[in-house]
Amino acid sequence: MPTSTATSSTRTAPENDAIRAYHLLGGDQIMSKSVRTALDAHDLIVAGIPSKSLLHLVEGVRFLSAGDTLNKAIGISIRTLQRRKSDTTGKVLSIEQSSRAWRFAEIIAKATDIMGTQEAAEAWFLEPAIGLNNRRPIDLLASSAGAGVIEDYLTRLEYGVYT
């Protein structure tokens, strides 16, 4: 349950979610192209998000390194990510992995806005939610449909609808 309720006037605009997702993925220090809009994000995803961005995300979102959570969220195992960590050739994620990494970063940014802190958002991902038929949000990230359900539920939470 959120620690504070946000209203549409306090909630960030979708463009700000794109900027926050960009920063969760390492921002200017890792990526060669800046992202300010959804179209910028699309171009970045199609070109492939750098593997280093995913490493940055895993370091910034603690629960991603536990068990098979990263595989559920992004579609890549911790083992594969560790192999890429030692690779200095600047590999990029596939379009599918880039898209999933971006969407996850947007979802965690939105959850952080609604829950008040990233720590609260991370805890929320790991607990069963009434509005998700007592499923954990993290377990729904394996599919696009499940991620959409999480986004819809976060929007309902934003407006005070908890079921």
Sign of the dihedral defined by the CA atoms of residues 98, 90, 26, 46, in that order: negative
Q: What is the value of pTM for the model shown?
A: 0.86
Model pLDDT for residues 85-136, shown as the tens digit of each residue: 776 677 899 999 999 999 999 999 999 999 999 999 999 999 999 999 999 9
Helix/strand/coil for 47: helix
Total structural domains within the chain: 1
The answer as to whether 5 is a domain residue is no
The answer as to whether 2 is a domain residue is no
The answer as to whether 96 is a domain residue is yes
The answer as to whether 3 is a domain residue is no
Residue numbers of the domain that contains 153: 14-158
The answer as to whether 26 is a domain residue is yes
Distance, in Å, from the CA atom of 34 to the CA atom of 27, rounded to the nearest integer, reads 7
Q: Which helix (H) or strand (E) holds 30?
A: helix 27-30
The answer as to whether 33 is a domain residue is yes
Phi, psi torsion values for 50, nearest 5 degrees: -60, 145
The answer as to whether 94 is a domain residue is yes
Distance, in Å, from the CA atom of 160 to the CA atom of 149, rounded to the nearest integer, reads 16
Distance, in Å, from the CA atom of 149 to the CA atom of 145, rounded to the nearest integer, reads 6
